[in-house]
Amino acid sequence: LRNITSEKEVQKLRELDKIKTNFIANISHELRTPLAAIKAYTETILNTEMNQEEIIEFLSIVYEQSIKLEQLLNDLLDFSQLESHTMKLVKENVNLCEILDRAIETVRNLAVQRNVEVRTSCKNVMAFCDPRRIEQVLVNLLSNAIKFSDEKKETKYVTVQIDKTPTNQVEIVVEDNGIGIPEDKLDKIFEKFYRVDNELTYSIPGTGLGLAIVKEIVELHNGEISVSSREGVGTTFTVRFPASENSN
C-alpha cells in the first residue's frame, strides 16, 4: 500500500514539474514577443529617416506592446498574491455598468482585430465591490471570449449581461459563440497554469493564470463563478456575488 502511495506521489510531482516547465517556456515566450517588437520598432525609429506621422505610428505600436508587458507582469504579481493569499480588496459603492464600459474600452482593439461583436446589457447596477478587481474579472472573461472565438463562424459575438437577482446578488453573464471547451476539461480551466490543449491555445498567447485569478477575486467578494460550454457552439461564464455588505 505504501509503495502505491509513493508511486502516486511521484507521478503527481512529475506532473507538477511538467506544468512548471511549460509555464516557464510559456512566460518566456510571452515576455519575448512584446519585447522583440519594442526593440525592433525603436531600432527602426532610431536608425531610419522617418516623417512625424510614421514615427507616431511606430510609437503607438511600442506603446501597445509595453502595455502588454505591463499586463503580463500584473498577472504574475496577482498570481503571487493569490498563492500567498495576500490579495486585498478596496471596496466602494460603484455602478457596475460604468466598470463594464471601461472593461470594454480595454478590449476594444482586440475585438476589432478579431472581428468579434461585443454586445452588452446593463442598467445602473450598483454594488459594493473593488472596482479595479471587478474590472479585471470583466476584462479577463471578455478577452478570453474574444481570443477563443471561432474563425469558422460568420458572426462572432460576446454578450455581457449584468443584473441584480431578487436575493440582492450581482449576476454577470458573459456568453460567446466561440470554439467552446470540451466537457471533461471544464473543471480544469480554473486551475493555475491550465490551458486547454488545442490548435488555438498554441497560437493564442496566454499563461493559464487568468481564470485562476478571476476565481480568487470572485471568491474574495464572497461570490462564485461557474461555466457551461459546448464544443463548436460557445461558452458561458456566470459570476455571482452579494451586491451589498449586508446581503452576505
Smallest distance, Å, CB 53 to ligand ADP?
Answer: 35
Among 206, 228, 238, 244, binds ligand ADP (CB under 6 A): 206
Task: Classify the C-alpha dihedral 147-71-225-191 as positive or negative.
Answer: positive
Does residue number 211 form part of the binding site for ligand ADP (CB under 6 A)? Answer: yes
Longest dimension (CA), the chain: 74
Number of residues that bind ligand ADP (CB under 6 A): 21
Give the strand order in the sheet containing 169-176. Answer: 116-122, 156-164, 169-176, 234-242, 224-230
Query: For residues 65 and 235, which CB has a smaller minimum distance to ligand ADP in the complex?
Result: 235
* Selected binder of ligand ADP within 133, 195, 221, 240 (CB under 6 A): 195
Q: Look up residue 36 and give its three cell numbers.
A: 522583440
The least distance separating ligand ADP from the CB of residue 78, rounded to whole angstroms, comes to 12
Decide: is 162 part of the binding site for ligand ADP (CB under 6 A): no
Interaction between residue 208 and ligand ADP (CB under 6 A): yes
> Does residue 103 contact residue 139 with C-beta atoms inside 8 Å?
yes
User: For 123, phi and psi rounded to 5 degrees?
Assistant: -130, 105
3-state secondary structure 101-148: HHHHHHHHHHHHHCCEEEEEEECCCEEEECHHHHHHHHHHHHHHHHHC
Region binding ligand ADP by CB under 6 A among candidate stretches 41-49, 52-60, 104-112, 171-179: 171-179
Q: Is 96 in the site for ligand ADP (CB under 6 A)?
A: no
Specify whether the CB–CB gap between 33 and 205 falls below 8 A.
yes
Contact yes or no for 167/248 (Cβ under 8 A): no
Residue whose CB is less far from ligand ADP, 34 or 178: 178
One residue of 87, 111, 139, 181 binding ligand ADP per CB under 6 A: 181
| Interface residue with ligand ADP, options 65, 136, 169, 235 (CB under 6 A) | 235
Which C-beta is closer to ligand ADP: that of 192 or that of 240?
192
The residue among 130, 122, 145 whose CA lies nearest residue 217 is 130
Q: Residues 215, 225: contact at Cβ < 8 Å?
A: yes
Contact pattern from residue 139 through residue 158 relative to ligand ADP, giving x for each residue in contact according to CB under 6 A and a dash for the rest = -----xx--x----------
169 binds ligand ADP (CB under 6 A): no
> Considering the complex, what minimum distance in angstroms separates the CB of residue 42 from ligand ADP?
27
Residues in the site for ligand ADP, rule: CB under 6 A?
144-145, 148, 176, 178-181, 189, 194-196, 201, 206-212, 235
